[in-house]
Chains A and B, each alone.
Chain A
């Protein structure tokens, strides 16, 4: 097995003013190059987990290792944040500069990259998210999806090994959501960047390799999406809806249609239904 990028061991965390734990005995592990999802309702602790993963918060107990470095050790902080970038939910509240290029440069300036090396890295990062032609635009003239891709470019330029996305598509329209998710899939596939995709959209989680489901600061279920989403009753108990296709397949199975297990996506479900119908008409 490859080395783990994120290694969380029995971590608990509570906010100062709160008496309940926002994070309760959480353990998880994300291997290098993986595309994992964290799924949960509002208030289940997803953002708290994200902030624990790059040292914005430190665990009350337990240990968080990023690329083998302990977040609790102050001298690792900047190394950790450079290796594990983070994209947040609101596209407007994470862009610092008034020009796209300058914003992508922000992280590079912070880690002290030589000015002569910056233009090349900025260009490559913008190219990787398909935003190169917008390099001289003012961020407020861009769409939500475009702003999120700029935010991703700002992280990419720092050449991280992993990126945490904390509901990066939650405030976007369906078009923007698709364009950002596709850009991230491409980065994972072509650049081998480890992705931790935090979301409350089933459809997105269903396209990841492994899903952690959170509730009340705990991880209540985990596994490959095919396993996790094939238990609609269990999902319902957690107040989560399985992807529409999975729910449809489940109902059809209940109604007596012989469909194979682990159906998550509309297209494969449609094909499977068509196959079952053909079998039926032949018989």
Chain B
């Protein structure tokens, strides 16, 4: 039952977007977030929306995969929009409910909030759909490595993420095994109220934690035996190199950002 859980949401096909440098993709995401928040009027969202459609086309990822990320957020989305419609201040009153006024400005701003949230999710989904988790970790490590000077543990964080990614399938498999063993002895993980179900998880989590700690000790030993001594003096098998496409992508993002700023300012 746990094996149905997919790891991350990487969509493994070949495309221009997939082959971009992970560092550039992270930078592009940050710039896209800036663009989304800079957009000050309805018109300014148009180029952003056009950009994400174009990017998803180039990525060979079906557009509905991008939209899938919004589903789990739909309640937050609706809640945010509705709440803001009621409580944002405004001048042009459309409906007076006594305890609250619904104004034109509030409706527009609330819808803008909703659009921003949707665009944010889509841009981040595009990154995780087109970049394998390990590659993403690699990119993050190298983007953050200059911060090592101020003692920011970039290498350690990346190593932790890599190991977590490596061990998630192993631990899931183990949890599945323990669950089956406990079910065979009459444990029930699927019925009862929330409290009953949480209680049923205890005999699953305890052995899982014990084993995870044992694994951690073993792994630390094995890593040391293989000469691991932190990030210092370490070389890497995969060398990241920015290529022409990376700079073209950056340029396109700059154009987007500029047009969003111009539209927000002057239209």
B-chain residues with CB within 8 Å of residue A26 when the two chains form the complex: none
B-chain residues with CB within 8 Å of residue A102 when the two chains form the complex: 134, 237-238
Residue of A nearest to B174 (CB): A92
12 A-B pairs with CB atoms under 8 Å apart are A78-B227, A81-B227, A86-B222, A88-B222, A93-B222, A96-B222, A98-B162, A99-B134, A109-B234, A110-B229, A115-B236, A115-B238
Residues of B within 8 A of A (CB): 133-134, 162-163, 165-166, 169-170, 173, 214-215, 218-219, 221-229, 233-239
- The residue that B218 contacts in the complex, of A93, A101, A154, with Cβ under 8 A, is A93
A98 lies within 8 A of B134 (CB)? yes
Which 7 pairs of residues, A with B, have the shortest CB-CB distance? A93-B218, A94-B222, A105-B237, A110-B227, A140-B169, A107-B226, A86-B225
B-chain residues with CB within 8 Å of residue A105 when the two chains form the complex: 237
A115 to B235 alpha-carbon distance, docked (Å): 7
B-chain residues with CB within 8 Å of residue A28 when the two chains form the complex: none
A96 lies within 8 A of B169 (CB)? no
A-chain residues with CB within 8 Å of residue B169 when the two chains form the complex: 138, 140
A105 to B223 alpha-carbon distance, docked (Å): 12
B170 lies within 8 A of A140 (CB)? yes
A140 to B176 alpha-carbon distance, docked (Å): 14
A111 to B215 alpha-carbon distance, docked (Å): 24
A96 to B170 alpha-carbon distance, docked (Å): 12
A176 to B218 alpha-carbon distance, docked (Å): 21
A109 lies within 8 A of B236 (CB)? yes
A41 → B minimal CB distance (Å): 21
A81 lies within 8 A of B165 (CB)? no
Q: Main SS of chain A's interface residues?
A: helix
- The residue that B237 contacts in the complex, of A85, A86, A92, A118, with Cβ under 8 A, is A118
Asked if A90 is at the interface of the complex by the 8 Å CB criterion, the answer is yes
Whether A56 contacts B237 in the complex (CB less than 8 A), given A93-B215, A93-B218, A96-B219, comes out as no
A92 lies within 8 A of B235 (CB)? no
Asked if A256 is at the interface of the complex by the 8 Å CB criterion, the answer is no
A112 lies within 8 A of B226 (CB)? no
Asked if A252 is at the interface of the complex by the 8 Å CB criterion, the answer is no
The number of A-B residue pairs with CB atoms under 8 Å apart is 93
Whether A158 contacts B227 in the complex (CB less than 8 A), given A102-B134, A138-B169, comes out as yes
Most buried by A among B162, B173, B218, B237: B237
Residue of B nearest to A106 (CB): B226
- The residue that B226 contacts in the complex, of A93, A114, A118, A158, with Cβ under 8 A, is A158
Tally of A interface residues using CB under 8 Å: 40
A-chain residues with CB within 8 Å of residue B225 when the two chains form the complex: 54, 56, 81, 85-86, 88
B-chain residues with CB within 8 Å of residue A99 when the two chains form the complex: 134
A98 lies within 8 A of B165 (CB)? yes
A46 → B minimal CB distance (Å): 15
B-chain residues with CB within 8 Å of residue A154 when the two chains form the complex: 226
Whether A96 contacts B166 in the complex (CB less than 8 A), given A56-B221, A109-B234, A109-B235, comes out as yes
B37 → A minimal CB distance (Å): 34
A112 to B230 alpha-carbon distance, docked (Å): 12
A15 to B165 alpha-carbon distance, docked (Å): 33
Asked if A108 is at the interface of the complex by the 8 Å CB criterion, the answer is yes
B-chain residues with CB within 8 Å of residue A98 when the two chains form the complex: 133-134, 162, 165-166
A144 → B minimal CB distance (Å): 12
B-chain residues with CB within 8 Å of residue A106 when the two chains form the complex: 223, 226, 228
Whether A97 contacts B162 in the complex (CB less than 8 A), given A107-B226, A108-B237, comes out as yes
Asked if A64 is at the interface of the complex by the 8 Å CB criterion, the answer is no
Most buried by B among A81, A86, A90, A93: A93
B-chain residues with CB within 8 Å of residue A172 when the two chains form the complex: none
B-chain residues with CB within 8 Å of residue A119 when the two chains form the complex: 237
B-chain residues with CB within 8 Å of residue A108 when the two chains form the complex: 235, 237
Asked if A95 is at the interface of the complex by the 8 Å CB criterion, the answer is yes
A191 to B125 alpha-carbon distance, docked (Å): 49
A-chain residues with CB within 8 Å of residue B229 when the two chains form the complex: 78, 110
A274 → B minimal CB distance (Å): 47
B229 → A minimal CB distance (Å): 7
A54-104 interface with B by 8 A CB criterion = 54, 56, 78, 81-82, 85-86, 88, 90, 92-99, 101-102
